[in-house]
Amino acid sequence: MTKSKERKVRPYINPYVGGVLLGLVLLAANFVSGRGLGASGAIKSTVVTAVTAVAPSASENTAFVKEFRESHEGNPMKTWLVFEMMGVLVGGFLSGAIAGRLKFKVEHSPKITSRRRLIFALAGGILFGFGSQLGRGCTSGSALSGMAVLSLGGFITMMAIFGTAFAMAYLFRKNWI
Within 87-116, the residues that bind other proteins by CB under 8 A are: 87-96, 99, 101-109
71 near other proteins (CB under 8 A): no
Q: Whose Cβ is closer to other proteins: residue 3's or residue 155's? A: 155
DSSP state, residue 78: S
Q: Is 69 exposed, middle or buried (0-12, 13-18, 19+ CB in 10 A)?
A: middle
Under rule CB under 8 A, residue 60 binds other proteins:
no
Dihedral sign, Cα of residue 26, residue 28, residue 33, residue 39 = negative
Nearer CB in complex with other proteins: 1/73:
73
| Residues 14-53 within binding reach of other proteins (CB under 8 A) | 15-16, 18-40, 43-44, 46-48, 51
Cβ pair 117, 175 in contact under 8 A: yes
**Residue 48 or 57 with smaller CB distance to other proteins:** 48
- Closer of 1 and 15 to other proteins (Cβ): 15
End-to-end, the C-alpha distance of the chain in Å comes to 34
String of contacts with other proteins for each residue 124-143, x by CB under 8 A: xxxxxxxxxxxxxxxxxxxx
Q: Which amino acid is at 38?
A: G
